[in-house]
């Protein structure tokens, strides 16, 4: 099997398992307990937070451990919006880009349906990029009140397009609006220093970089008010109550540190392999279309549409041939609806339903991608014959 679905998940790294194992066994204390076991756990949690802060270039107190990227997105968007409007009832608008993850889309819909916020969508061009000028114009159009929070993802999970996040953050800052970014897919591939990015809040997920499923991280810039979503004992400085998952926090910190250490070399190597893969695929399937920006894209993502096919049919044929990839976002699996991302980019429904995404692990080999490209050509040809 050749696994080319790393944007969906990655295996847990051995170093991560070894780092977290003591906190699942003999060092099992509750970090809120005032005895030796509890203090060991509290120390490990603090060290994990410091490791993550080093990777992001922020203060440890600006980080909250969550159950994953989805919870981090929910806490950022809902928490900041509710707190800002409570302080100023005129801040009644929420802006999100047209290519956001469902965690952001559904959080915005909750704010609209339950709390009466006005949700506005920032459009993208045919390569899934947000124009800073268009974003600025939307921030300034105050007919429905001021903007409480905006959210634009760093790198798209379906087509791999990378936004000019510093430029967008500068636009938001000039308007006095907090900008959150879902950086789940960026981790391990793109710079994460929050100062250079300029964001107010940023979400990460552990299982995309070699930590277990079920742990994430939210950065919220110091001084930014937000409402907690989970209430109880006041853990995570009151931002997320509940006994902290020390083992998983250690796992995330270890995985993030390792990912950062190898990021630049991996990005250079995999970008070159991605270019060869795209060239081989489009050279043998000229009717195929690369989706997303041709150059401003994640190093490890190559996504296509093959008109006249069914993405699901090609996906099943590829799996039969030992190639594992995706027909889009794993978070939308089982849906017959075309990708909302591709629709926002202007793809017709029938073409959008032919989408395939290949996302490479950091250790992918050239021979694996050459084999995958060959099998993709054969799979598309077979589906076209049978259709």
- State the catalytic residues: 331
b/e for 253-265, b at 16 or more Cβ within 10 A?
A: bbbbbbbbeebee
* Number of Cα atoms under 13 Å in the Cβ half of residue 19: 25
How far apart (Å, rounded) are the C-alpha atoms in residues 47 and 369? 39
Q: Quick one: CA dihedral 337, 298, 168, 207, positive or negative?
A: positive
Q: Cα–Cα distance between 106 and 285 in angstroms, integer?
A: 37
Q: What are phi and psi of 66, to 5 degrees?
A: -130, -175
Burial class (CB in 10 A: 0-12, 13-18, 19+), 69: buried
For the record, the structure tokens of 71 come out as: 């919870």
Which residues, other chains included, contact 127 with Cβ-Cβ below 8 Å and sequence gap of 6+? Answer: 161, 292, 293, 294, 296, 345
Q: Running DSSP on this structure, what letter comes out for residue 242? A: S
């Amino acid at each position: 099997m050749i696994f080319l679905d790393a944007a969906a998940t990655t295996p847990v790294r051995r170093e991560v398992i070894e780092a977290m194992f003591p906190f699942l066994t003999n060092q099992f204390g509750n970090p809120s307990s005032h005895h030796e076991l509890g203090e060991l756990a509290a120390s490990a949690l603090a060290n994990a937070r410091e490791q993550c802060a080093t990777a992001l270039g922020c203060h440890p107190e600006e980080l909250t451990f969550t159950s994953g990227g989805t919870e981090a997105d929910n806490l950022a968007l809902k928490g900041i919006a509710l707190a800002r409007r409570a302080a100023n009832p005129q801040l009644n608008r929420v802006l999100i880009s047209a290519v956001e993850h469902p965690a952001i889309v559904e959080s915005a819909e909750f704010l609209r349906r339950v709390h009466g916020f006005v949700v506005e969508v920032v459009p993208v061009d045919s390569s899934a990029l947000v124009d800073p000028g268009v974003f600025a114009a939307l921030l300034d159009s105050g007919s429905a009140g001021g903007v409480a929070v905006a959210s634009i993802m760093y790198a798209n999970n379906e087509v791999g397009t990378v936004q000019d996040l510093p430029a967008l953050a500068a636009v938001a800052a000039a308007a006095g609006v907090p900008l959150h970014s879902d950086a789940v897919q960026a981790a391990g591939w793109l710079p994460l220093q929050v100062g250079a990015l300029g964001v107010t809040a940023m979400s990460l997920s552990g299982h995309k970089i070699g930590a277990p499923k079920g742990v994430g991280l939210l950065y919220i810039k110091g001084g930014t008010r937000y409402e907690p979503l989970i209430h109880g004992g006041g853990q995570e400085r009151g931002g997320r109550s509940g006994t902290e998952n020390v083992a998983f926090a250690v796992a995330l910190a270890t995985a993030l540190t390792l990912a950062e250490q190898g990021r630049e070399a991996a990005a250079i190597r995999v970008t070159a392999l991605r270019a060869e893969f795209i060239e081989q695929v489009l050279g043998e399937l000229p009717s195929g279309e690369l989706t997303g920006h041709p150059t401003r894209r994640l190093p490890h993502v190559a996504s296509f549409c093959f008109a006249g096919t069914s993405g699901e049919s090609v996906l099943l044929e590829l799996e039969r041939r030992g190639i594992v990839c995706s027909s889009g976002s794993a978070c939308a699996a089982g849906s017959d609806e075309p990708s909302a991302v591709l629709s926002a980019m202007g793809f017709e429904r029938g073409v959008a339903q032919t989408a395939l995404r290949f996302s490479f692990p950091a250790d992918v080999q050239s021979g694996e991608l050459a084999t995958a490209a060959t099998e993709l050509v054969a799979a598309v040809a077979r589906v076209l014959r049978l259709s």
